[in-house]
Amino acid sequence: MRVGIVCPYSFDVPGGVQAHVRDLAEALIGLGHHVSVLAPADEGEALPPYVVAAGRAMPIRYNGSVARLSINPMAIARVRRWLREGEFEVLHVHEPVAPMLSLLATMIASGPIVATFHTATPRSRMLAAAQGALQPVVEKISGRIAVSALARRVQVEHLAGGAVEIPNGVSIARFEAAAPLDGWPGEGGAIGFLGRFTEPRKGFPILLDAFARIAPDHPGLRLLVAGPGDAAEALDDVPADLRDRIVMLGLVSDEDKARMLRSVDVYVAPNTGGESFGMILTEAMAAGTAIAASDLDAFRRVLSDGKSGALFRTGDAADLASVLARLLGDPRLRSDFAQAAREAVEVYDWPHVASQVLDVYSMAIAANPLSVTDDDDTLTDRLMETLREWWR
C-alpha cells in the first residue's frame, strides 16, 4: 500500500505527535508498505529518508503550548506536488485542523483521507470559533482515529463525528534493549523526568518541590532530567546543595531517551493537564521503570487505574513526595509495578497498533480513490478564511 502521512509539527523539535508519526511510518515500512511523510522542515535538515520537507516552521502558540508550525500560503504548490508524485492510495493526516500543513492537505485531497486526532483540550475557544469554517474540511475525512477516549470526546464535541480509538504505539524492543547511562541509577537511587520542563503544564516545578521534600531523607538520591529548555532558569530557585544532585541532559536523541528511562528507579510524570494519552508513560513502561504519575484521566487509563504505576493528586507536591518516598523505600513494590506495566504495555506495541491503523486505511480506501483538487485561487481563499477564523 502507498501511504502519505502529514505531520503538522516540525521534525526538528521532539514531541509526541512527531514521535507517533515517525514510529507509525517505520512500523508500516517494516510491514512492507511504501510510506512518505510530509512535515515542516528546512530542505537542509537531516531527516529520515521517508520524510519530505515542507518548508521552514515557526513557533506559534497553539493548543495550550508553543508548536513549530508551517504558516505559509506558498505551501499549496508543495503539498499538491507531494500528493501527485506520491500516488498514494490513502492520505493519513495528523491533527487535520491544525494550521496549516495538515489543514491544507485535507483541503487539497479528496477520497480516502484518514485523520488522527491527538488534542485533548476539552474546551478549545479556537476550535469553537472556527467550527463553521472547519466543518466542510472535516466532512472530507473518510476515517477518524483518536489516540484516547479524551481526544475522541474533544473531536466529537467540536467537530461532530465519531472516531475509532487507537492508542499511541511504543517500540517495546527498543526500550527493553537500551543500556542505562554510565553511573546510573547509582547507590542512592534516581528519579527521572523527560519533557519541556519550562512549559507549565508539564509540572516540573511540582517535581522540584517534591524532590526538595524527600532529599534530606535520601542523601544519595539524584534527579535526572532530559528535554529542551533553559536549565539555569528552571533551577534558579533550587538550593545550591540540591542543584548539585540534579543532572540536566538537555535535548536527547531517541537512543539516549531510552537509556535515560532505563537509568532511573522511578520515572515521574507531574503533568497538570492537556494530555490526551501519555506516550512517555508507555515508553517508561516498556523500559521496565516504575512510574509515579499525576492522577490525570489520560494517565489513569494508561496505568490501569494505578495497577501499572503509582498515582498522586495532580498538582500536589506533598502527595508526590509521599508516593516517591514509598516507592524508593520498597524495591519489591517498584518491581511489582514494573512487571504489571510490562504486561499492560503489550497492547501498545507498534506492530499491534499499526495493524489496527491498516484496518482503518482499508475501510477508507473501499469508499473512493484519492484525488487532488486543481483550483488554487479558490483554495487559497478558503485557506485564508479558515486561518482568519482561527485567530480572529
Q: CA distances (Å), 220 to each of 59, 214, 223, in order?
A: 39, 11, 10
Give me the chain's average pLDDT, please. 86
Contact 271, 294 (CB under 8 A): yes
Mapping DSSP to helix (H, G, I), strand (E, B) and coil, where does residue 272 land?
Answer: coil
Q: Which residues of 273-290 are buried (b: 16+ CB within 10 A; e: fewer)?
A: bbbbbbbbbbbbbbbbbb
Question: What is the C-alpha to C-alpha distance for residues 13 and 70, in angstroms, rounded to an integer?
Answer: 13
Q: Which amino acid is at 96?
A: P
Please report which helix (H) or strand (E) contains residue 110, including its range. Answer: strand 109-110
Is residue 127 predicted with pLDDT exceeding 80? no
- Please tell me which of 230-244, 251-265, 372-386 the model is most confident about, judged by mean pLDDT: 251-265
| pLDDT attached to residue 57 | 59
* pLDDT per residue as tens digits for the range 22-38: 999 999 999 999 999 99
Higher pLDDT, 390 or 248: 248
Question: Are 2-169+349-391 and 172-345 in the same CATH fold?
Answer: yes
Do 239 and 159 form a contact (C-beta atoms < 8 A)? Answer: no
Query: pLDDT grade, residue 376 (50/70/90)?
Result: low
- Using pLDDT thresholds of 50, 70 and 90, give the confidence band for residue 129: very low
- CA-derived radius of gyration, the chain: 21
Which string of DSSP letters, residue by residue, matches 141-180? -SEEEESSHHHHHHHHHHH----EE-PPPB-HHHHHTPPP
Domain boundaries, the chain: 2-169+349-391, 172-345
What does pTM read for this prediction? 0.78
Confidence of residue 235 (pLDDT cuts 50, 70, 90): very high
Q: Do the Cβ atoms of 114 and 30 come closer than 8 Å? A: no
- Over residues 67-125, the pLDDT tens digits come to 555 556 567 888 999 999 999 999 999 998 876 788 889 989 988 999 999 876 655 55
pLDDT for 267 beyond 90: yes
Q: Kindly report, residue by residue over 179-226, the tens digit of the pLDDT.
A: 999 999 999 999 999 998 989 999 999 999 999 999 999 999 999 999
DSSP bridge partners of 170? 349
Residue 351 pLDDT exceeds 80: yes
Contacting residues for 308 by C-beta, under 8 A, at least 6 apart: 285, 291, 302, 337, 340, 341, 344, 345
128, pLDDT greater than 90: no
Q: Which three cell numbers stand for residue 32?
A: 512492507
Place of cell 518516598: 325
Pick the CATH number of 172-345 from 3.30.1540.10, 3.40.50.2000, 3.40.50.720, 3.40.1190.20: 3.40.50.2000
Report the distance separating Cα 47 and Cα 41, nearest Å: 9
Return the pLDDT at 377: 53
Query: Which three three-digit cell numbers place residue 192?
Result: 527521572
Cell of 185: 541509577
Question: How much is the average pLDDT of 334-361?
Answer: 96
Q: Is the CB of residue 345 less than 8 Å from the CB of residue 278?
A: no
CA triple 261-198-8, angle to 5 deg: 80
Distances (CA, A) of 214 to 52, 140, 191, 217: 48, 54, 11, 6
Q: Of all residues in the chain, what percent carry a pLDDT higher than 70?
A: 83
C-alpha cell at 134: 472547519
* Per-residue pLDDT, 192: 98
pLDDT value of position 139: 84
Give domain 2-169+349-391's CATH number out of 3.40.50.410, 3.40.50.2000, 3.90.1170.50, 3.40.50.300. 3.40.50.2000
Indicate the SS3 state at residue 38: strand
> So what's the pLDDT on residue 46?
82
Q: Which of 53, 144, 135 is nearest to 92 (CA)?
A: 144
- The H or E element that residue 190 is part of is strand 190-194
